[in-house]
Structure 1
Amino acid sequence: MKSHISKNFTLRGLRVNLLLLAVVGNLVYSFSARAGFNGTLTVEIDGFKNKEGQVCASIFANSQGFPNQRDRVLQRQCTKITDIPVKITFENLPASSYAVAVMHDQNKDLILNRNSLGMPTEGFGFSRNPEVTTKPPKFSEATFLLAGPNTKVNVQLKYL
Structure 2
Amino acid sequence: MTYLLSVFVTASLLFTPTKSSKLEINIVGLESNSGKVLVLVFNESTGFPEDDSKAYKFLELSISNKTAKGSITDIPAGTYAISALHDEDGDGKMKKNGVGFPTESFGFSNDPSILFSAPSFEKCSFTVKEGTPKQISIKLK
TM-score range, shorter chain: 0.7 to 0.9
Structure-1 separation of matches of 2:61 and 2:69: 9
Q: Which residue of 2 aligns with 1:39?
A: 21
The structure 1 segments of at least 4 consecutive aligned residues displaced by more than 3 Å after TM superposition are none
Structure-2 separation of matches of 1:92 and 1:139: 22
Aligned-pair CA distance for 1:49: 1.0
Aligned-pair CA distance for 1:108: 0.8
2:100 is the alignment partner of 1:149: no
2:67 is the alignment partner of 1:85: yes
Aligned-pair CA distance for 1:84: 3.7
2:34 is the alignment partner of 1:52: yes
| TM-score, normalisation: structure 1 | 0.74
Aligned-pair CA distance for 1:113: 1.3
Structure-2 separation of matches of 1:100 and 1:151: 13
Q: Which residue of 1 aligns with 2:7?
A: none
Structure-2 separation of matches of 1:92 and 1:83: 28
2:127 is the alignment partner of 1:127: no
- Secondary structure of 2:123's partner? helix
Unpaired segments of 5 or more residues in structure 1?
Answer: 1-35
Higher helix share: 1
**Which structure exhibits the higher relative contact order, with contacts defined as CA atoms closer than 8 Å and separated by 6 or more residues?**
2
Identity among equivalent positions (%) equals 28
Q: Tell me if structure 1 keeps the 8 A contact 2:61–2:69.
A: no
Q: Tell me if structure 1 keeps the 8 A contact 2:28–2:68.
A: yes
- Secondary structure of 2:26's partner? strand
Unpaired segments of 5 or more residues in structure 2?
Answer: 1-17
Structure-1 separation of matches of 2:66 and 2:133: 21
Aligned-pair CA distance for 1:53: 0.6
| TM-score, normalisation: structure 2 | 0.83
Q: Which one-letter code corresponds to 1:103 in the other structure?
A: L
Q: Tell me if structure 1 keeps the 8 A contact 2:41–2:55.
A: yes
Give aligned pairs, total: 124
Structure-2 separation of matches of 1:140 and 1:130: 11
Structure-1 separation of matches of 2:66 and 2:102: 22
Taking the TM superposition and a 5 Å limit, the aligned residue runs for 1:113-124 are: 113-124=95-106
Q: Which one-letter code corresponds to 2:102 in the other structure?
A: P
Rg larger in 1 or in 2?
1
